[in-house]
């Protein structure tokens, strides 16, 4: 009998195959999806952290009506209670007749009115969250929302929790970002105002990007998560430029440029200190100015030096349920003296920019997919590591030290590198001296 093993491939073999020949086992659309406990928390568009449903509530003063079968709303109830925003969720539970006939579409405007009338304070907007049922029915939810908006007398915006579109041009987490900025209306732009697009929670308070942007003349830095009210949210349309901090916000930025005339500049979350410095210098060229990041650069380098001296040779497994790109993070930590044994993450062509460098430094690092059915046969004790990063990686290695690194507050820049390394130092020290 052939021994059953989880599918894995080394980064060296991946680079030799090239970005146009990614193994089918690492492409979720080519096989059945295995929803292990390591994947359940992030695989659904209604996932923990900021899935579509919670993300749709990013607009200040908004509430959400989720329209779908009871099974689709069940985990929403649990997650919203844990997150403390259950009072902003409402449900239209579809029955079999709704699913067969589409009867629910005529009732949604009435449901929206009932939601608004039930609240002591009128919401700024009602988000209508749709499930895969309406994707299969081909529902024109824009039209339904326009009718609901007319009857309720306030904005009604659709967002789509369509797992079926995950592999398409507008995956759920991409389109919801477009939706939450769709209410912005064109206003005179202010030269010293900028928006940070990308996340539904703010960057860490000590992130140097705030000081850098102020240092080059921007006096108003907007993030949707820091908007105290709907008026502040609406003022985001006055920005002179959008900074895209997460590639999933490209569509939103393109829409804002088309509708509002706001151009955008993209910055990447990186954990390689040298590359962060290069990115800030490239930003300075784009803005036609100078950026002095030397103090933050030196501090980050000092922390890297201490970690290399203390933990060189420490073995690591990195998952994808964490605040970073698993392949870029693996490259950074390899350069800091850690040994990356395994990576659990879906792979895309854009990741090869990191894989090529990683293969030169750590060719035997193995790549797995959390969603491959072959992970049924994965046994963590056969692949021991000292520390894991990401909740999914922690599931595979019970005996290791764990850094979940999935908090709502987002790490970025030099501050993100320092926080990551300090987190690793903490969990490794606790494991050594419990």
pTM (two decimals): 0.92
Q: Answer yes or no: is pLDDT of 289 > 60.
A: yes
83-97, 137-151, 246-260: least confident range: 83-97
Give the model's pLDDT for residue 43: 55
Name the 3-class secondary structure at 104: helix
Segment 291-299 shows an average pLDDT of 97
Percent of the chain at pLDDT > 70 equals: 91
209 in Cβ contact with 283 (< 8 Å): no
Bigger pLDDT: 340 or 373? 340
CATH superfamily of 49-172: Nitrogenase molybdenum iron protein domain (3.40.50.1980)
* 193-267: CATH architecture: 3-Layer(aba) Sandwich (3.40)
Closest C-alpha among 63, 43, 61 to residue 53: 63
25-68 pLDDT, tens per residue?
A: 888 878 787 777 666 665 554 455 667 778 889 999 999 999 98
Helices vs. strands in the chain: H and E counts, helices first: 18, 14
Range(s) of the chain covered by CATH 3.40.50.1980: 49-172, 193-267, 304-432
Q: How confident is the model at residue 264 (pLDDT cuts 50, 70, 90)?
A: very high
Q: Answer yes or no: is pLDDT of 385 > 50.
A: yes
- Pull the structure tokens for residue 166: 């995950």
Give the model's pLDDT for residue 358: 98
Q: Answer yes or no: is pLDDT of 169 > 80.
A: no
CA-to-CA dists, residue 150 to 153, 331, 379, angstroms: 5, 52, 56
Q: Answer yes or no: is pLDDT of 136 > 80.
A: no
CA distance 18 to 13: 9
Q: How is the beta sheet containing 62-68 ordered, strand by strand?
A: 89-93, 62-68, 125-130, 156-160
131 in Cβ contact with 153 (< 8 Å): no
354-380 pLDDT, tens per residue?
A: 999 999 999 999 999 988 899 999 998
Third-level CATH fold of 304-432: Rossmann fold (3.40.50)
Give the model's pLDDT for residue 46: 45
Q: How confident is the model at residue 78 (pLDDT cuts 50, 70, 90)?
A: low
Segment 275-292 shows an average pLDDT of 97
Q: How confident is the model at residue 134 (pLDDT cuts 50, 70, 90)?
A: confident
Bigger pLDDT: 173 or 301? 301
84-111 pLDDT, tens per residue?
A: 667 898 998 888 888 888 888 999 999 9
- Pull the structure tokens for residue 358: 């990683």
Mean pLDDT of the chain: 90
CA distance 359 to 357: 5
Give the model's pLDDT for residue 1: 42
């Amino acid at each position: 009998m052939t021994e059953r093993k989880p599918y894995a491939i080394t980064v060296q073999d991946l680079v030799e195959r090239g970005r146009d020949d990614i193994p089918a086992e690492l492409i979720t659309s080519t096989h059945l999806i295995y929803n292990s406990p390591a994947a359940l928390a992030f695989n659904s568009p209604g996932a923990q952290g900021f899935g579509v449903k919670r993300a749709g509530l990013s607009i200040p003063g908004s509430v959400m009506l989720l329209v779908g079968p009871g099974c689709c709303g069940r985990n929403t109830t649990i997650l919203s209670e844990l997150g403390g925003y259950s009072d902003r969720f409402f449900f239209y539970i579809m029955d079999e007749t709704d699913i067969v006939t589409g009867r629910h579409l005529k009732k949604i405007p009435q449901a929206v009115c009932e939601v608004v009338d039930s609240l002591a304070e009128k919401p700024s907007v009602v988000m209508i969250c749709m499930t895969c049922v309406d994707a299969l029915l081909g529902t024109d939810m824009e039209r339904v929302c326009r009718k609901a908006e007319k009857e309720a007398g306030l904005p009604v915006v659709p967002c789509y929790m369509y797992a079926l579109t995950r592999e398409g041009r507008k995956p759920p987490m991409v389109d919801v970002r477009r939706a939450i900025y769709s209410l912005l209306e064109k206003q005179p732009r202010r030269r010293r105002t900028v928006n940070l697009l990308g996340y539904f929670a703010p960057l860490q308070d000590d992130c140097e990007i705030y000081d850098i942007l102020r240092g080059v003349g921007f006096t108003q830095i907007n993030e949707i998560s820091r908007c105290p009210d709907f008026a502040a949210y609406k003022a985001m349309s006055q920005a002179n430029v959008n900074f895209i901090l997460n590639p999933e916000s490209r569509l939103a930025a393109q829409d804002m440029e088309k509708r509002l005339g706001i151009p955008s500049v993209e910055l990447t979350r990186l954990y390689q200190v040298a590359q962060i410095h290069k990115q800030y210098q490239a930003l300075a060229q784009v803005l036609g100015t100078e950026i002095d990041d030397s103090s933050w650069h030196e501090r980050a380098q000092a922390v890297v030096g201490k970690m290399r001296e203390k933990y060189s040779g420490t073995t690591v497994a990195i998952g994808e349920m964490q605040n970073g790109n698993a392949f870029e993070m693996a490259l950074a930590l390899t350069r800091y003296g850690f040994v990356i044994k395994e990576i659990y993450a879906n792979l895309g062509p854009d990741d090869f920019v990191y894989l090529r460098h990683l293969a030169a430094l750590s060719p035997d690092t193995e790549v797995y997919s959390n969603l491959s059915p072959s992970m049924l046969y994965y046994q963590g004790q056969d692949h021991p590591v000292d520390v894991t990063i990401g909740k999914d990686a922690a599931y595979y290695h019970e005996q290791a030290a764990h850094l979940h690194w999935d908090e709502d507050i987002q790490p970025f820049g030099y501050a993100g590198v320092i926080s990551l390394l300090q987190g690793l130092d903490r969990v490794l020290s606790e494991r050594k001296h419990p």
